[in-house]
Amino acid sequence: MTKLNRKWLLSLTILVGLFLMPVTVNAARYYGVDGSRYQGNTLKKVTPEDSFAISQIGGYYNGTFIPQTTYQSQVASGIAMGLRMHTYIYMETGANKNQTKQMLDYYLPKVQTPKQSIVALDYESGASADREANTDNVLYGLRRVKEAGYTPVLYSYKPFINAHLDYARINSAFPNSLWVAGYRDYSVMTRPDYNYFPSMDGINMWQFTSTAIAGGYDYNVDLLGITLNGYKNGNVEHPKSETKAIEQGQKADNTPKSAIQVGNTVRVKFGVKRWANGVGMPSWVQSNTYKVQQVSGNRLLLGGIMSWINASDVEVVSVTNNAPRVTTSATYYVVRYGDTLSGIASRYGTSWQNLQRLNGLRNPNWLSVGQRLVIRQGATQSLSRVYRVQYGDTLSGIAAKLGTNVYNLQSKNGIRNANLIFVGQTLRY
């Protein structure tokens, strides 16, 4: 989360920590990250033991809605990684219940984590001068979250709470509902130093660092098991209710390694030390996610880093259906960026030699993006053909190349501005 005036927070937290004895908490502790759009489409595990993550669905900043476009993909990919996913909303509504109502009317129906999972209200800035009115507003928000069927949690930090809220009232109405931020310092750490625990009644989670990895990553410890909520017996494979994001995550999680395709997103497992060619792998690659650029047998070419890795060394976190949309008897495939003949053949349970013969290919290494390949004899016309945008393309140029027109491409692909296309974009025609 974005913290305002971190230096003030840090100095006050350290000052308080110096006068505290180590805290005694529930022995069962769980660890996980939280993130927003700044962490991209997938959150990451900091350690192999991570079991939950909390994703920002959006915020309400002084009357302005700012949805997070990464929310659904973060939830889906987190489910695929075996994380119990939860949600938070940035709440900059001060004492204004009407704004809080608008915020929750907008975001609660869009929550993609299961019923009873955490929906936290991030109340860390924008408070009014009226402490009781701020408290009334927060209590209203927490009640709305509970009425919607989720576990209400308040996120903030101790100095802000003490200055702007009557926390005794909040804790009385919602015991153990506090997720508090308090950092020892900004050195990289993956386990909390309880000498600096920002002691308050009713804390369920502690965000003990914003630098779990170099460069920054918020990291949390669940002290009371609240992150088990929403999942039967705490099992991420058995959420209390299904959403589209959960279904997407489960689909990715159930994708066998042999079915990984170009365009899928994979996460490099912890403990992997070598690339497919035997060369040593840098440790920072572990737990990072990459798009698959090419498939060759049981090896995958990772986009961005452009290195080959064994499929057994990754887990699938999101899937893209690269198979052509065809009639039941159709067996055509349209070549995409990164495809190889052997990769296409393995996808369809045939051999590259067979594809070479069926398509009259002189050189199996010569494929072009947009080229249509016959997969089996007797194929019928595919219902949908695709083109992958390349550097220098224009929509009019693509239309001319494909024997269609700009209007047809716009209508089939939902393009409002014909001048706004990007490299790698898939167009149906």
Residue 352 belongs to a domain: no
Q: Among residues 264, 288, 318, which one ends one of the domains? A: 318
The number of residues making up the chain comes to: 429
Query: Is residue 103 domain-shared with residue 70, that is, in the same domain?
Result: yes
Residue 412 belongs to a domain: yes
Per the CB < 8 A criterion, the answer to whether 204 and 189 are in contact is no
Per the CB < 8 A criterion, the answer to whether 54 and 90 are in contact is no
Residue 385 has a pLDDT of 63
Residue 142 has a pLDDT of 98
Listed as ranges, residues in the chain with pLDDT below 70 are 1-28, 321-332, 346-347, 349, 376-385, 402-403, 411
Q: Among residues 302, 318, 334, which one ends one of the domains? A: 318
Nearest-angstrom CA–CA distance, 252 and 236: 14
Residue 2 has a pLDDT of 47
Residue 377 has a pLDDT of 52
Beta pairing partners, 264:
none
Q: What's 154's domain CATH number?
A: 3.20.20.80
Nearest-angstrom CA–CA distance, 91 and 164: 14
Query: Is residue 26 domain-shared with residue 119, that is, in the same domain?
Result: yes
Query: Is residue 24 domain-shared with residue 89, that is, in the same domain?
Result: yes
Residue 346 belongs to a domain: no
Query: Is residue 238 domain-shared with residue 265, that is, in the same domain?
Result: no
Residue 305 has a pLDDT of 83
Domain range for residue 276? 255-318
Query: Is residue 268 domain-shared with residue 172, that is, in the same domain?
Result: no
Residue 236 has a pLDDT of 94
Query: Is residue 226 domain-shared with residue 266, that is, in the same domain?
Result: no
Q: What's 408's domain CATH number?
A: 3.10.350.10
Query: Is residue 171 domain-shared with residue 25, that is, in the same domain?
Result: yes
Query: Is residue 270 domain-shared with residue 123, that is, in the same domain?
Result: no
Per the CB < 8 A criterion, the answer to whether 62 and 126 are in contact is yes
Residue 374 belongs to a domain: no
Per the CB < 8 A criterion, the answer to whether 322 and 290 are in contact is no
Residue 391 belongs to a domain: yes
**Number of alpha carbons in the 13 Å side-chain half-sphere of residue 406:** 11
**Number of structural domains in the chain:** 3
